[in-house]
Structure 1
Amino acid sequence: MNETMVCAVGNVATQPVFRELAAGPSARFRLAVTARYWDREKNAWTDGHTNFFTVWANRQLATNAATSLTVGDPVVVQGRLKVRAETREGQQWTSADIDAVAIGHDLARGTAAFRRTGRPDTAAPAPPRPEPDWETPAESPDPPAGAEPEPVAVAAAAP
């Protein structure tokens, strides 16, 4: 597939908007990406132009983004770039959207605590399987003459 994949590093500019649609959860937010460069004349870092992208997330990524992101959070977004041109009220508009594949906090600018979310279960979970006994049994002295050996329990494998 010939898609334009991008990785954008910036800040969450708007609170994520979450919607539960027929096709599944969807969320969107604006991402502000500002270029920074070293200005030799000022001998300091200077902010350049700021680009704004609308980031779209679907399914579990949408749910997690809506609950994890707030305005101002530094994030890294990876996804497919979509540039759209349209006419609204007689004016030509161009927007750059990112259909997100992955979103994460930028750990170069802070810390985060990761918590795994449970997946929605469609089937009943499989019962836990017993741990096999891999250890070699310790050698025991020979049983007395005439004694019957102890029965060995054999467990049948569950289908």
Structure 2
Amino acid sequence: MNETMVCVVGNVATPPAYRELAAGPSARFRLAVTSRYWDREKSTWADGHTNFFTVWANRQLAANAAASLSVGDPVVVQGRLKVRTEAREGQQSRASADIDAVAIGHDLSRGTSAFRRAGKPESASSPPRPEPDWETPADDTAPHLEQAEPVAAM
């Protein structure tokens, strides 16, 4: 319950690497997040430091991310931040920041996107659900549009 949840906005830096594992699908990619600031001396926006995160996605999110993302895409990633320190023999210890993604989406403030719902695989154990009846039953007591009173213009 005491997890560090983050929301980062950046660009996809590497193509998503997709793998089918025993625990289910998994995908990972690197995310570049560059801070921007207003440079008063030059009266223009300037790029600051760039942080890189490894984003991990699992299950359906992994499959959808691998099918939807490419290098350079502006994205918004929400997930759990995990900072790891790795010590290798004869070298300095290295720290890396990973994000275990809960949600990933294109940043619509920087472009457009077309959403397509992913098809769910049909399971053999569940019978197909009947299609709902969307038709409205005819009701003779309801007023018809032709009989409605005209609305006064304001």
TM-score with structure 2 length normalisation? 0.84
Alignment partner, residue 136 of structure 1: 139
Amino acid at match of 1:45: W
Q: Which runs of 5+ in 1 are unaligned?
A: 139-159
Q: Which runs of 5+ in 2 are unaligned?
A: 142-154
- Greater shift, 124-133 or 59-68, is seen at 124-133
Cα distance in 2 for partners of 1:72, 1:45 equals 20
Alignment of 1:11 with 2:14, yes or no, is no
Q: How many residues in Structure 1 have an aligned counterpart in Structure 2?
A: 138
Identical amino acids, percent of aligned pairs: 74
1:137 deviates by 5.7
Alignment partner, residue 142 of structure 1: none
Within 5 Å, give how 1:1-159 maps onto structure 2. 1-91=1-91, 92-122=93-123, 123-130=126-133, 134-136=137-139
Amino acid at match of 1:52: F
Decide whether aligned partners of structure 1 residues 133 and 5 sit closer, same or farther in structure 2, where only a CA change above 3 A counts: closer
Cα distance in 2 for partners of 1:2, 1:124 equals 41
Cα distance in 1 for partners of 2:53, 2:136 equals 56
Amino acid at match of 1:76: V
Cα distance in 1 for partners of 2:55, 2:135 equals 48
TM-score with structure 1 length normalisation? 0.81
